[in-house]
Amino acid sequence: MMDFQFEGAAAFVTGGASGIGLAIVRSLVREGARVAIADFNKDWLEECRAEFGIQGLTVPLDVGDRSGWARARVMVEERFGPVHVLVNNAGIGPDFNQLDEMPPRHFDQMIEVKLTGTFNGIHEFVPGMRARRRGHVVNTASMAGLVSNAKMGAYTAAMFGVVGMSEVLAAELAPDGVGVSVLCPGRIVTRLTETNLRAGVEQKPIFAKAITENSPAPMEASVVGDLVIEAIRGNHLHVVTHGNRIGEVERRVAPVLEAFSRAPRTSTPDRGTG
């Protein structure tokens, strides 16, 4: 599927009331789409209601609540009709604990919001896209879904999971004409810290401060919104925001490839079952 037509299309964006999600909403609206903006923060949803008027529909949603997803789908379909673009963007930031010191509820919350929340969106909206043979799914992961860093264990596990799930989904949906993109942004201007506080996931201040001080200035979220439009239009599977970080990905992949040089050779066909 190429050259996706946005004019009049219906979109559903989770975590859509701030940061990357809000930037994606704005880009979709500029392209002529009607957008359901889903978020768990009702104050931010009120701001969106004022900004987007009739082209936007605000939907309170906890992405871990499957019954909430079902209600949200009914709400958006009654207003806009079938959803053509699903953006699973909702997420929370890392807590900067070492894995063995991480409060289990932090790990569980990360997996529920980012990984299970993404699956819930797919489960609710993709069957309709497949039946209509039209649609596109965008799953927001992170550069932490392509490279791993200490003190970001749960975050990295969830993001690697989103990348892998997106790649599987792309293979499954290609025969039905439904596209898939996985967004792996670097550091972007967002409200993740505030989102974490509202979700009850406290960050270790010393590590959060060190990462902030040692990183380049964050990119404006509006750039990401435009990249997502380009990815949907061209059906690009992988979307990254910071091209200068390619070396980190190459360094991660190098030891994996090197491991194959030490692996036994076999004449038995590899059927890809792991």
- Going by pLDDT thresholds of 50, 70 and 90, the confidence category of residue 272 is low
Q: What pLDDT, on a 0 to 100 scale, did the predictor assign at position 266? A: 79
pLDDT tens for residues 105-135? 999 999 999 999 999 999 999 999 999 999 9
> What CATH topology corresponds to 10-262?
Rossmann fold (3.40.50)
Q: How many CB atoms lie within 10 A of CB 112?
A: 18
* Average confidence (pLDDT) over 222-250: 95
Of the listed ranges 27-36, 43-52, 63-72, 262-271, the least confidently predicted one is 262-271
CB 127: neighbour CB atoms within 10 A?
A: 10
Q: Exposed, middle or buried, 261 (CB in 10 Å: 0-12/13-18/19+)? A: exposed
Angle 242-155-235 (CA atoms, 0-180°, nearest 5)? Answer: 45
Lowest mean pLDDT among 29-38, 65-74, 183-192: 183-192
Mean pLDDT value across residues 204-220: 60
Q: What gap in Å lies between CA 94 and CA 153, rounded to an integer?
A: 8
Provide the CB-side half-sphere exposure for 190 (13 A, CA): 26
Comparing C-alpha atoms, which of 68, 90, 77, 265 is closest to residue 183? 90
Chain centroid offset of residue 153 CA: 17
Q: How confident is the model at residue 1 (pLDDT cuts 50, 70, 90)?
A: very low
Helix (H) or strand (E) holding 70: helix 66-80
Give CB contacts under 8 A, 24+ apart, made by 101-104. Answer: 102/153, 102/154
Enumerate the active-site residues.
Answer: 155
**3-class SS of residue 200:** coil
**Could you tell me which residues come within 8 angstroms of residue 160 by beta carbon, excluding any fewer than 6 positions away?**
141, 144, 145, 148
Question: Cα–Cα distances in Å, from 17 out to 22, 50, 90, 174, 238?
Answer: 5, 12, 10, 30, 24
pLDDT band of residue 146 (cuts 50, 70, 90) is very high
Instruction: Show contacts of 205-213: CB within 8 Å, 24+ apart.
Output: 207/96, 207/151, 208/96, 211/96
What residue segments make up the domains of the chain, in order of their start? 10-262
The helix or strand, by DSSP H or E, that contains position 37, with its residue range, turns out to be: strand 34-39
HSE, CB side, 13 Å, CA atoms: give it for residue 148.
Answer: 12
